[in-house]
Protein backbone atom coordinates (compact mmCIF):
# COMPACT_ATOMS: atom_id res chain seq x y z
CA UNK A 1 0.00 0.00 0.00
CA UNK A 2 1.35 3.44 -0.91
CA UNK A 3 1.25 6.45 1.41
CA UNK A 4 -1.37 8.04 -0.86
CA UNK A 5 -3.92 5.29 -0.20
CA UNK A 6 -3.07 4.73 3.48
CA UNK A 7 -6.25 5.51 5.43
CA UNK A 8 -4.64 5.24 8.90
CA UNK A 9 -5.12 8.98 9.52
CA UNK A 10 -7.15 10.26 6.58
CA UNK A 11 -10.29 8.22 7.27
CA UNK A 12 -10.41 8.67 11.08
CA UNK A 13 -9.83 12.44 10.77
CA UNK A 14 -12.56 12.73 8.13
CA UNK A 15 -15.09 10.56 10.02
CA UNK A 16 -14.49 12.14 13.44
CA UNK A 17 -14.50 15.75 12.21
CA UNK A 18 -17.64 15.26 10.11
CA UNK A 19 -19.53 13.51 12.92
CA UNK A 20 -18.52 16.10 15.54
CA UNK A 21 -19.69 18.90 13.22
CA UNK A 22 -22.99 17.04 12.65
CA UNK A 23 -23.52 16.55 16.40
CA UNK A 24 -22.93 20.27 17.07
CA UNK A 25 -25.25 21.34 14.25
CA UNK A 26 -27.97 18.95 15.43
CA UNK A 27 -27.57 20.29 18.96
CA UNK A 28 -28.02 23.88 17.81
CA UNK A 29 -30.59 23.50 15.03
CA UNK A 30 -32.64 20.31 15.30
CA UNK A 31 -35.64 19.51 17.48
CA UNK A 32 -38.55 17.03 17.46
CA UNK A 33 -41.63 17.91 15.43
CA UNK A 34 -45.17 17.93 16.83
CA UNK A 35 -45.70 14.17 16.36
CA UNK A 36 -42.40 13.29 18.07
CA UNK A 37 -42.20 15.74 20.96
CA UNK A 38 -43.73 14.51 24.24
CA UNK A 39 -45.10 17.88 25.39
CA UNK A 40 -46.39 19.08 21.98
CA UNK A 41 -48.10 15.79 21.14
CA UNK A 42 -49.92 15.61 24.47
CA UNK A 43 -50.84 19.30 24.43
CA UNK A 44 -52.60 18.98 21.08
CA UNK A 45 -52.97 15.22 20.98
CA UNK A 46 -55.33 12.70 22.50
CA UNK A 47 -56.49 14.90 25.38
CA UNK A 48 -57.64 18.18 23.87
CA UNK A 49 -58.89 17.28 20.42
CA UNK A 50 -59.88 13.68 21.00
CA UNK A 51 -57.03 12.34 18.85
CA UNK A 52 -55.94 8.76 19.28
CA UNK A 53 -52.25 7.95 19.68
CA UNK A 54 -52.64 5.82 16.56
CA UNK A 55 -53.20 8.97 14.52
CA UNK A 56 -49.55 9.85 15.07
CA UNK A 57 -47.71 10.12 11.74
CA UNK A 58 -45.42 7.29 12.90
CA UNK A 59 -48.15 4.71 12.26
CA UNK A 60 -48.81 6.01 8.74
CA UNK A 61 -45.24 6.47 7.62
CA UNK A 62 -42.98 4.09 9.56
CA UNK A 63 -43.73 0.92 7.51
CA UNK A 64 -42.81 2.84 4.34
CA UNK A 65 -39.70 4.20 6.05
CA UNK A 66 -38.57 0.69 6.98
CA UNK A 67 -38.95 -0.47 3.39
CA UNK A 68 -37.00 2.51 2.04
CA UNK A 69 -34.31 1.96 4.69
CA UNK A 70 -33.90 -1.67 3.63
CA UNK A 71 -33.55 -0.52 0.00
CA UNK A 72 -30.82 1.96 0.93
CA UNK A 73 -28.67 -0.37 3.04
CA UNK A 74 -29.37 -3.86 1.65
CA UNK A 75 -30.77 -3.13 -1.81
CA UNK A 76 -28.21 -0.62 -3.04
CA UNK A 77 -25.38 -2.23 -1.04
CA UNK A 78 -25.80 -5.73 -2.40
CA UNK A 79 -26.74 -4.64 -5.93
CA UNK A 80 -23.16 -3.36 -6.24
CA UNK A 81 -21.48 -6.57 -5.04
CA UNK A 82 -21.29 -7.96 -8.59
CA UNK A 83 -17.56 -7.15 -8.84
CA UNK A 84 -15.53 -10.28 -8.12
CA UNK A 85 -13.09 -8.70 -5.63
CA UNK A 86 -14.99 -5.63 -4.36
CA UNK A 87 -17.78 -7.04 -2.20
CA UNK A 88 -16.48 -5.48 1.04
CA UNK A 89 -16.12 -2.10 -0.63
CA UNK A 90 -19.57 -2.28 -2.20
CA UNK A 91 -21.52 -3.11 0.95
CA UNK A 92 -19.12 -1.46 3.41
CA UNK A 93 -18.66 1.91 1.72
CA UNK A 94 -22.38 1.95 0.88
CA UNK A 95 -22.98 1.57 4.65
CA UNK A 96 -20.52 4.36 5.50
CA UNK A 97 -21.78 6.90 2.95
CA UNK A 98 -25.43 6.21 3.73
CA UNK A 99 -24.91 6.66 7.48
CA UNK A 100 -23.21 10.02 6.90
CA UNK A 101 -25.51 11.23 4.10
CA UNK A 102 -28.78 10.66 5.99
CA UNK A 103 -27.53 12.89 8.84
CA UNK A 104 -26.27 15.63 6.53
CA UNK A 105 -29.43 15.38 4.41
CA UNK A 106 -31.60 15.94 7.50
CA UNK A 107 -29.84 19.28 7.99
CA UNK A 108 -29.70 20.32 4.33
CA UNK A 109 -33.32 19.46 3.59
CA UNK A 110 -34.29 21.08 6.88
CA UNK A 111 -32.62 24.36 5.89
CA UNK A 112 -34.75 24.52 2.74
CA UNK A 113 -38.01 22.86 3.79
CA UNK A 114 -38.40 22.53 7.53
CA UNK A 115 -37.25 25.62 9.43
CA UNK A 116 -39.69 26.71 12.15
CA UNK A 117 -38.57 29.58 14.34
CA UNK A 118 -34.93 28.94 13.48
CA UNK A 119 -35.15 25.21 14.22
CA UNK A 120 -35.37 22.17 11.94
CA UNK A 121 -38.32 20.02 13.00
CA UNK A 122 -37.79 16.31 12.36
CA UNK A 123 -40.10 13.30 12.39
CA UNK A 124 -40.63 10.11 10.46
CA UNK A 125 -41.27 11.97 7.19
CA UNK A 126 -37.94 13.79 7.41
CA UNK A 127 -36.27 10.40 7.97
CA UNK A 128 -37.80 9.15 4.72
CA UNK A 129 -36.73 12.29 2.85
CA UNK A 130 -33.18 11.98 4.18
CA UNK A 131 -33.09 8.38 2.92
CA UNK A 132 -34.30 9.59 -0.50
CA UNK A 133 -31.42 12.05 -0.67
CA UNK A 134 -29.05 9.29 0.44
CA UNK A 135 -30.37 7.11 -2.40
CA UNK A 136 -29.28 9.73 -4.90
CA UNK A 137 -25.74 9.74 -3.44
CA UNK A 138 -25.60 5.94 -3.63
CA UNK A 139 -26.61 6.06 -7.31
CA UNK A 140 -23.61 8.32 -7.96
CA UNK A 141 -21.46 5.90 -5.90
CA UNK A 142 -22.39 3.21 -8.43
CA UNK A 143 -20.80 5.23 -11.24
CA UNK A 144 -17.46 5.58 -9.43
CA UNK A 145 -17.52 2.17 -7.70
CA UNK A 146 -14.11 0.56 -7.29
CA UNK A 147 -12.14 3.63 -8.38
CA UNK A 148 -12.47 5.89 -5.34
CA UNK A 149 -11.33 5.96 -1.72
CA UNK A 150 -13.75 6.17 1.23
CA UNK A 151 -12.56 9.73 1.91
CA UNK A 152 -13.33 10.75 -1.68
CA UNK A 153 -16.80 9.22 -1.30
CA UNK A 154 -17.51 11.13 1.91
CA UNK A 155 -16.37 14.41 0.30
CA UNK A 156 -18.59 13.65 -2.71
CA UNK A 157 -21.53 13.03 -0.36
CA UNK A 158 -21.06 16.41 1.37
CA UNK A 159 -21.41 18.30 -1.90
CA UNK A 160 -23.99 16.07 -3.52
CA UNK A 161 -26.41 16.16 -0.57
CA UNK A 162 -26.17 19.97 -0.58
CA UNK A 163 -26.83 20.23 -4.33
CA UNK A 164 -29.61 17.64 -4.08
CA UNK A 165 -31.37 19.79 -1.46
CA UNK A 166 -30.97 22.91 -3.64
CA UNK A 167 -32.38 21.13 -6.71
CA UNK A 168 -35.24 19.64 -4.66
CA UNK A 169 -36.09 23.08 -3.26
CA UNK A 170 -36.14 24.69 -6.74
CA UNK A 171 -38.35 21.93 -8.16
CA UNK A 172 -40.79 21.17 -5.36
CA UNK A 173 -41.08 24.57 -3.67
CA UNK A 174 -40.29 27.24 -6.25
CA UNK A 175 -41.62 25.56 -9.40
CA UNK A 176 -44.38 23.44 -7.82
CA UNK A 177 -43.19 20.29 -9.60
CA UNK A 178 -44.71 16.91 -8.75
CA UNK A 179 -42.13 14.14 -8.36
CA UNK A 180 -43.38 11.72 -5.69
CA UNK A 181 -41.03 8.81 -6.43
CA UNK A 182 -38.11 11.01 -7.47
CA UNK A 183 -37.61 10.11 -11.14
CA UNK A 184 -36.02 13.55 -11.50
CA UNK A 185 -34.89 14.62 -8.02
CA UNK A 186 -33.38 11.25 -7.02
CA UNK A 187 -32.63 9.09 -10.07
CA UNK A 188 -31.87 11.54 -12.87
CA UNK A 189 -29.95 13.83 -10.52
CA UNK A 190 -27.92 11.00 -8.94
CA UNK A 191 -27.14 9.35 -12.28
CA UNK A 192 -25.94 12.41 -14.19
CA UNK A 193 -24.07 13.83 -11.19
CA UNK A 194 -22.23 10.50 -10.88
CA UNK A 195 -21.58 10.26 -14.62
CA UNK A 196 -20.01 13.70 -14.66
CA UNK A 197 -17.86 12.89 -11.61
CA UNK A 198 -16.62 9.65 -13.18
CA UNK A 199 -15.93 11.52 -16.45
CA UNK A 200 -13.70 14.03 -14.63
CA UNK A 201 -12.00 11.17 -12.74
CA UNK A 202 -11.39 9.34 -16.04
CA UNK A 203 -8.40 6.97 -15.92
CA UNK A 204 -6.81 6.41 -19.34
CA UNK A 205 -4.87 3.38 -18.07
CA UNK A 206 -7.75 1.69 -16.22
CA UNK A 207 -7.11 -1.25 -18.58
CA UNK A 208 -4.58 -2.42 -15.95
CA UNK A 209 -7.50 -3.30 -13.64
CA UNK A 210 -9.91 -4.37 -16.38
CA UNK A 211 -9.62 -8.06 -15.48
CA UNK A 212 -11.07 -7.26 -12.02
CA UNK A 213 -13.93 -5.13 -13.38
CA UNK A 214 -16.16 -8.16 -13.87
CA UNK A 215 -18.24 -10.64 -11.92
CA UNK A 216 -17.97 -14.27 -10.90
CA UNK A 217 -20.79 -16.72 -10.24
CA UNK A 218 -21.26 -16.04 -6.52
CA UNK A 219 -20.76 -12.25 -6.80
CA UNK A 220 -23.62 -12.04 -9.31
CA UNK A 221 -25.76 -14.08 -6.94
CA UNK A 222 -25.05 -11.59 -4.12
CA UNK A 223 -25.94 -8.71 -6.44
CA UNK A 224 -29.23 -10.44 -7.23
CA UNK A 225 -30.10 -10.28 -3.50
CA UNK A 226 -29.85 -6.49 -3.70
CA UNK A 227 -31.90 -6.44 -6.90
CA UNK A 228 -34.73 -8.52 -5.43
CA UNK A 229 -34.89 -6.37 -2.27
CA UNK A 230 -35.07 -3.23 -4.39
CA UNK A 231 -37.71 -4.77 -6.66
CA UNK A 232 -39.90 -5.87 -3.76
CA UNK A 233 -39.79 -2.58 -1.87
CA UNK A 234 -39.95 -0.12 -4.78
CA UNK A 235 -43.73 0.40 -4.44
CA UNK A 236 -43.02 1.65 -0.89
CA UNK A 237 -40.19 3.87 -2.14
CA UNK A 238 -42.36 5.68 -4.69
CA UNK A 239 -45.36 6.00 -2.38
CA UNK A 240 -43.56 6.74 0.92
CA UNK A 241 -44.32 10.46 1.15
CA UNK A 242 -47.41 10.82 -1.04
CA UNK A 243 -50.67 11.98 0.53
CA UNK A 244 -52.47 9.42 2.71
CA UNK A 245 -55.37 7.51 1.22
CA UNK A 246 -55.98 6.97 -2.48
CA UNK A 247 -52.75 8.76 -3.54
CA UNK A 248 -50.46 6.42 -1.63
CA UNK A 249 -52.54 3.39 -2.62
CA UNK A 250 -52.43 4.35 -6.30
CA UNK A 251 -48.69 5.08 -6.33
CA UNK A 252 -47.84 1.68 -4.86
CA UNK A 253 -50.11 -0.08 -7.34
CA UNK A 254 -48.79 1.79 -10.39
CA UNK A 255 -45.21 0.97 -9.37
CA UNK A 256 -46.10 -2.68 -8.74
CA UNK A 257 -47.42 -3.20 -12.27
CA UNK A 258 -44.71 -1.13 -13.89
CA UNK A 259 -42.04 -3.33 -12.28
CA UNK A 260 -43.80 -6.54 -13.31
CA UNK A 261 -44.10 -5.46 -16.97
CA UNK A 262 -40.51 -4.21 -16.91
CA UNK A 263 -39.24 -7.61 -15.75
CA UNK A 264 -40.79 -9.42 -18.70
CA UNK A 265 -39.46 -6.93 -21.24
CA UNK A 266 -36.02 -7.18 -19.59
CA UNK A 267 -35.87 -10.96 -19.91
CA UNK A 268 -37.13 -10.74 -23.49
CA UNK A 269 -34.63 -8.07 -24.55
CA UNK A 270 -31.73 -9.76 -22.75
CA UNK A 271 -32.25 -12.96 -24.73
CA UNK A 272 -32.96 -11.07 -27.95
CA UNK A 273 -29.77 -9.00 -27.87
CA UNK A 274 -27.48 -11.98 -27.13
CA UNK A 275 -26.17 -13.78 -30.22
CA UNK A 276 -26.77 -17.16 -28.54
CA UNK A 277 -30.03 -16.16 -26.84
CA UNK A 278 -28.61 -16.56 -23.33
CA UNK A 279 -29.69 -14.24 -20.51
CA UNK A 280 -27.20 -11.73 -19.09
CA UNK A 281 -27.36 -11.47 -15.29
CA UNK A 282 -26.33 -7.78 -15.43
CA UNK A 283 -29.52 -7.01 -17.36
CA UNK A 284 -31.71 -8.95 -14.93
CA UNK A 285 -30.16 -7.32 -11.84
CA UNK A 286 -30.53 -3.78 -13.16
CA UNK A 287 -32.92 -3.36 -16.08
CA UNK A 288 -35.72 -5.23 -14.28
CA UNK A 289 -35.74 -2.34 -11.75
CA UNK A 290 -36.06 0.39 -14.38
CA UNK A 291 -39.86 0.21 -14.18
CA UNK A 292 -39.70 1.48 -10.60
CA UNK A 293 -37.55 4.45 -11.66
CA UNK A 294 -39.77 5.29 -14.64
CA UNK A 295 -42.98 5.19 -12.55
CA UNK A 296 -41.54 7.61 -9.99
CA UNK A 297 -42.87 10.95 -11.20
CA UNK A 298 -46.26 9.88 -12.52
CA UNK A 299 -46.84 7.20 -9.87
CA UNK A 300 -49.30 9.27 -7.82
CA UNK A 301 -51.11 10.54 -10.93
CA UNK A 302 -53.99 8.74 -12.64
CA UNK A 303 -51.54 6.81 -14.78
CA UNK A 304 -53.83 3.71 -14.68
CA UNK A 305 -52.50 0.13 -14.43
CA UNK A 306 -52.54 -0.03 -18.24
CA UNK A 307 -50.36 3.09 -18.50
CA UNK A 308 -48.04 1.87 -15.75
CA UNK A 309 -47.42 -1.39 -17.58
CA UNK A 310 -46.59 0.44 -20.82
CA UNK A 311 -44.11 2.65 -18.94
CA UNK A 312 -42.47 -0.38 -17.28
CA UNK A 313 -42.37 -2.32 -20.54
CA UNK A 314 -40.58 0.56 -22.30
CA UNK A 315 -38.21 1.13 -19.36
CA UNK A 316 -36.97 -2.48 -19.47
CA UNK A 317 -36.31 -2.28 -23.21
CA UNK A 318 -34.47 1.06 -22.97
CA UNK A 319 -32.36 -0.13 -20.03
CA UNK A 320 -31.21 -3.39 -21.66
CA UNK A 321 -30.38 -1.56 -24.90
CA UNK A 322 -28.36 0.91 -22.83
CA UNK A 323 -26.32 -1.85 -21.18
CA UNK A 324 -25.78 -3.68 -24.47
CA UNK A 325 -25.02 -0.85 -26.88
CA UNK A 326 -24.74 2.56 -25.18
CA UNK A 327 -22.38 1.85 -22.25
CA UNK A 328 -19.48 0.74 -24.53
CA UNK A 329 -19.96 3.90 -26.63
CA UNK A 330 -19.96 6.14 -23.53
CA UNK A 331 -16.70 4.58 -22.37
CA UNK A 332 -14.90 4.61 -25.71
CA UNK A 333 -16.12 7.91 -27.18
CA UNK A 334 -17.01 10.06 -24.16
CA UNK A 335 -14.51 8.53 -21.68
CA UNK A 336 -17.29 7.85 -19.13
CA UNK A 337 -16.34 4.77 -17.07
CA UNK A 338 -19.69 3.93 -15.45
CA UNK A 339 -18.95 0.88 -13.26
CA UNK A 340 -22.55 -0.08 -12.38
CA UNK A 341 -24.23 1.25 -15.50
CA UNK A 342 -26.22 3.83 -13.52
CA UNK A 343 -27.04 5.61 -16.79
CA UNK A 344 -29.06 2.58 -17.89
CA UNK A 345 -30.91 1.95 -14.62
CA UNK A 346 -31.34 5.48 -13.24
CA UNK A 347 -30.41 7.99 -15.97
CA UNK A 348 -32.47 7.05 -19.02
CA UNK A 349 -35.43 5.53 -17.09
CA UNK A 350 -35.38 8.67 -14.90
CA UNK A 351 -35.73 10.85 -18.00
CA UNK A 352 -38.48 8.56 -19.30
CA UNK A 353 -40.26 8.93 -15.94
CA UNK A 354 -39.96 12.73 -16.13
CA UNK A 355 -41.42 12.77 -19.66
CA UNK A 356 -44.29 10.47 -18.64
CA UNK A 357 -44.94 12.76 -15.66
CA UNK A 358 -45.02 15.84 -17.89
CA UNK A 359 -47.45 14.25 -20.35
CA UNK A 360 -49.70 12.86 -17.60
CA UNK A 361 -49.75 16.25 -15.86
CA UNK A 362 -50.64 18.09 -19.06
CA UNK A 363 -53.78 15.98 -19.59
CA UNK A 364 -55.01 16.02 -15.98
CA UNK A 365 -58.66 17.09 -15.69
CA UNK A 366 -61.21 17.59 -12.93
CA UNK A 367 -63.37 14.96 -14.68
CA UNK A 368 -60.72 12.29 -14.10
CA UNK A 369 -59.41 13.35 -10.67
CA UNK A 370 -62.55 14.82 -9.09
CA UNK A 371 -61.81 16.02 -5.55
CA UNK A 372 -58.45 14.25 -5.69
CA UNK A 373 -57.07 16.98 -7.95
CA UNK A 374 -56.32 19.06 -4.82
CA UNK A 375 -53.95 16.33 -3.54
CA UNK A 376 -52.09 15.62 -6.77
CA UNK A 377 -52.12 19.03 -8.50
CA UNK A 378 -53.08 21.66 -5.92
CA UNK A 379 -52.10 24.59 -8.20
CA UNK A 380 -54.23 23.22 -11.04
CA UNK A 381 -57.13 22.58 -8.65
CA UNK A 382 -57.00 26.17 -7.37
CA UNK A 383 -56.81 27.39 -11.01
CA UNK A 384 -53.50 29.16 -10.38
CA UNK A 385 -52.19 27.29 -13.42
CA UNK A 386 -53.61 25.15 -16.19
CA UNK A 387 -52.84 21.44 -16.61
CA UNK A 388 -50.81 22.14 -19.78
CA UNK A 389 -48.78 24.75 -17.88
CA UNK A 390 -48.14 22.18 -15.12
CA UNK A 391 -46.92 19.79 -17.83
CA UNK A 392 -44.48 22.39 -19.16
CA UNK A 393 -43.22 23.05 -15.60
CA UNK A 394 -42.54 19.31 -15.27
CA UNK A 395 -40.49 19.39 -18.49
CA UNK A 396 -38.54 22.48 -17.39
CA UNK A 397 -37.81 20.73 -14.08
CA UNK A 398 -36.05 17.93 -15.95
CA UNK A 399 -33.79 20.48 -17.67
CA UNK A 400 -33.04 22.21 -14.36
CA UNK A 401 -32.17 18.89 -12.71
CA UNK A 402 -29.84 17.89 -15.54
CA UNK A 403 -28.14 21.29 -15.45
CA UNK A 404 -27.49 21.26 -11.70
CA UNK A 405 -26.39 17.59 -11.74
CA UNK A 406 -23.92 18.01 -14.63
CA UNK A 407 -22.44 21.31 -13.45
CA UNK A 408 -22.26 20.11 -9.84
CA UNK A 409 -20.67 16.81 -10.87
CA UNK A 410 -18.09 18.66 -12.96
CA UNK A 411 -16.99 20.87 -10.05
CA UNK A 412 -17.03 18.04 -7.46
CA UNK A 413 -15.10 15.78 -9.82
CA UNK A 414 -12.24 18.27 -9.95
CA UNK A 415 -12.27 18.59 -6.14
CA UNK A 416 -12.04 14.78 -5.81
CA UNK A 417 -9.00 14.71 -8.12
CA UNK A 418 -6.89 16.31 -5.38
CA UNK A 419 -4.24 13.70 -4.42
CA UNK A 420 -4.80 14.18 -0.68
CA UNK A 421 -7.98 12.04 -0.76
CA UNK A 422 -6.12 8.78 -1.37
CA UNK A 423 -7.51 7.53 -4.67
CA UNK A 424 -6.34 4.00 -5.58
CA UNK A 425 -3.88 3.76 -8.45
CA UNK A 426 -4.85 2.21 -11.79
CA UNK A 427 -3.54 -1.25 -10.95
CA UNK A 428 -5.48 -1.47 -7.66
CA UNK A 429 -8.97 -0.44 -8.77
CA UNK A 430 -11.87 -2.85 -8.11
CA UNK A 431 -9.76 -4.48 -5.39
CA UNK A 432 -10.86 -4.75 -1.73
CA UNK A 433 -7.37 -5.51 -0.41
CA UNK A 434 -6.19 -1.90 -0.71
CA UNK A 435 -8.67 -0.59 1.91
CA UNK A 436 -9.82 -3.72 3.80
CA UNK A 437 -8.24 -6.43 5.93
CA UNK A 438 -8.80 -9.54 3.85
CA UNK A 439 -9.61 -12.95 5.40
CA UNK A 440 -6.80 -15.54 5.51
CA UNK A 441 -7.46 -17.31 2.23
CA UNK A 442 -7.33 -14.02 0.33
CA UNK A 443 -3.86 -13.04 1.52
CA UNK A 444 -1.42 -12.11 -1.18
CA UNK A 445 1.53 -14.32 -2.01
CA UNK A 446 3.96 -11.66 -0.73
CA UNK A 447 2.44 -11.75 2.76
CA UNK A 448 2.50 -15.53 2.85
CA UNK A 449 6.10 -15.59 1.70
CA UNK A 450 7.08 -13.15 4.47
CA UNK A 451 5.36 -15.28 7.12
CA UNK A 452 6.98 -18.48 5.87
CA UNK A 453 10.42 -16.83 5.82
CA UNK A 454 9.99 -15.64 9.41
CA UNK A 455 8.83 -19.12 10.52
CA UNK A 456 11.75 -20.86 8.84
CA UNK A 457 14.19 -18.44 10.46
CA UNK A 458 12.73 -19.22 13.91
CA UNK A 459 12.97 -22.97 13.26
CA UNK A 460 16.55 -22.69 12.02
CA UNK A 461 17.49 -20.36 14.87
pLDDT tens readout for residues 275-315:
999 999 999 999 999 999 999 999 999 999 999 999 999 99
Instruction: Indicate if the pLDDT at residue 221 is higher than 50.
Output: yes
pLDDT tens readout for residues 405-447:
999 999 999 999 998 888 888 888 999 999 999 987 544 444 4
The CATH architecture one would assign to domain 60-433 is Orthogonal Bundle (1.10)
Is residue 320 a contact partner of residue 348, using CB atoms and an 8 Å limit?
A: no
Q: Give the whole-angstrom CA distance, residue 332 versus residue 344.
A: 16
Nearest to 71 by CA among 309, 340, 289: 289
CA quadruple 441, 446, 447, 449: dihedral positive or negative? positive
Query: What average pLDDT does range 64-73 have in this prediction?
Result: 97
- Start-to-end CA span in the chain (Å): 31
Instruction: Indicate if the pLDDT at residue 228 is higher than 90.
Output: yes
**pLDDT at site 117:** 87
Is residue 428 a contact partner of residue 206, using CB atoms and an 8 Å limit?
A: no
pLDDT tens readout for residues 151-208:
999 999 999 999 999 999 999 999 999 999 999 999 999 999 999 999 999 988 887 8
Q: How confident is the model at residue 241 (pLDDT cuts 50, 70, 90)?
A: very high
Please state, rounded to an integer, the average pLDDT across all residues of the chain: 91
Domain ranges of the chain: 60-433
Q: Which residues contact 458 (CB under 8 A, 6 or more apart)?
A: none
Instruction: Indicate if the pLDDT at residue 50 is higher than 60.
Output: no
Instruction: Indicate if the pLDDT at residue 450 is higher than 90.
Output: no
Instruction: Indicate if the pLDDT at residue 121 is higher than 50.
Output: yes
**pLDDT at site 454:** 45
Instruction: Indicate if the pLDDT at residue 48 is higher than 50.
Output: no
Instruction: Indicate if the pLDDT at residue 455 is higher than 60.
Output: no
pLDDT tens readout for residues 94-117:
999 999 999 999 999 999 986 888
Q: Give the whole-angstrom CA distance, residue 285 versus residue 320.
A: 11
**pLDDT at site 6:** 82
Is residue 266 a contact partner of residue 319, using CB atoms and an 8 Å limit?
A: yes
What is the DSSP pairing of strand 115-116 with strand 119-122? antiparallel
**pLDDT at site 234:** 98
**pLDDT at site 67:** 97
Q: Give the whole-angstrom CA distance, residue 229 versus residue 338.
A: 23
Amino acid sequence: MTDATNMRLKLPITCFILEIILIILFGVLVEYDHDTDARKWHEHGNGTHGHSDYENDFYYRYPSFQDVHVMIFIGFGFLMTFLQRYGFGSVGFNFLIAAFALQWATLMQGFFHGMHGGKIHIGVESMINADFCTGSVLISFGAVLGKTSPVQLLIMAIFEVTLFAVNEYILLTLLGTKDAGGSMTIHTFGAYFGLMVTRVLYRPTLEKSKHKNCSVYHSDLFAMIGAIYLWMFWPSFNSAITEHGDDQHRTAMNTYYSLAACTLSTFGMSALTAHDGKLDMVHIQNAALAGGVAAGTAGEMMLTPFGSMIVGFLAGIISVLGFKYLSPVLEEKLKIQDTCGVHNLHGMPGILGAIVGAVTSAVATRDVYGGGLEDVFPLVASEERTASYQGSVQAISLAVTLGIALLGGLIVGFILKLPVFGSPNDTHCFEDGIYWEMPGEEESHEELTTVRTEESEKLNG
